[in-house]
Amino acid sequence: MSQPINIGIVGVGKIVRDQHLPALAKDKNYRLVAAASRHGKVENIPNFPDIEAMLDAVPELEAVSLCMPPQFRYDAARTALMAKKHVFLEKPPGATVSEVENLKALAAQNGVSLFASWHSRYAPAVEAARAFLNSTKIKSAAINWKEDVRRWHPNQEWIWAPGGFGVFDPGINALSIATHILPPMFITSAALDFPENRASPVAAHVTFRTSNGLPVTMDLDWLQTGPQSWDILAETDKGAMVLSGGGSKLAVHGKVVHDEPEAEYPMLYRRFAEIVRAGISDVDLAPLQHVADAFMLGKRNVVEAFFD
């Protein structure tokens, strides 16, 4: 086996503690050697206030995993790429399409790998859903992604700021799956609900048309109470398909055909190691482009103020 990749984490928050650190701890492809964060720390390794200090103090770093909010990710990614470090981008890969395009160019210029890590695309039943749909004639599809922001993002104000995506923060997970399993599609209309005291939407209804004319709808809601909904449905000539649980369970014609435990982040880091060792990048911008299009085409509706 190749020598472990010396990696550093930037931005030590909930997602890092819940997903990144456990995945790295079990992956022999990596050696976690440093962390940088304004607030959080990782035990038993050197910690720094920012990426610049980390890169200066730890020259043996080969790669960095960037897990701060998307509004602040470009500068950190550029710094790492210019220092010839491989870069793992937590989703969404940036606040705008154009800045991620620039990062792709910088990675190529500096001979390092860039990875846009769409974690939901690595959910256990996604590939099975893709294979099923590729074997059928699709008639229509619908995306229902509804969850409670107060449960999953308590007191995280950055998600409501400009560039924080609002309900498209989870919605982009749905789009990362849909753009992988459905034919190419584009937005025809969108309605976005903005709370009167927030700068990002709390709900959205989006309609798409695929390149061959099939209708696709997407409903996003960030104030869902009770059971959470992360489902993609398709009507096909082989029966109805339901990909549920954020991509963890697949049912066809009412019968569950695929159901496995979630292992998204271990698979993401496995993929990152593959592209680093192959000397390539993996940066699909389709989910981010759809979010940008929704904001560009979307009709803005002002709704009642939202409070945590």
Query: Looking up tokens 């959205």, which residue turns up?
Result: 204
- The amino acid sitting at 39 is H
91 noted as active-site residue: yes
Angle at 120 between CA 225 and CA 15, to 5 degrees: 70
Backbone dihedral region for residue 155 (phi beyond 0: left; psi -120 to 50: alpha; all else: beta): left
Q: Are 62 and 5 in contact (CB under 8 A)?
A: yes
- The amino acid sitting at 221 is D
- Residues 14-49 as b/e (b if ≥16 CB within 10 A, e otherwise) read eebeebbbebbeebebbebbbbbbeebebeeeebbe
Of 301, 303, 12, 295, the C-alpha closest to 162 is 295
| Alpha-carbon distances, residue 267 vs 30, 230, 248 (angstroms) | 13, 20, 14
Q: Among the options 91, 104, 137, 238, which is catalytic? A: 91
Report the DSSP pairing between strands 185-195 and 138-146.
Answer: unpaired
Catalytic residues: 91
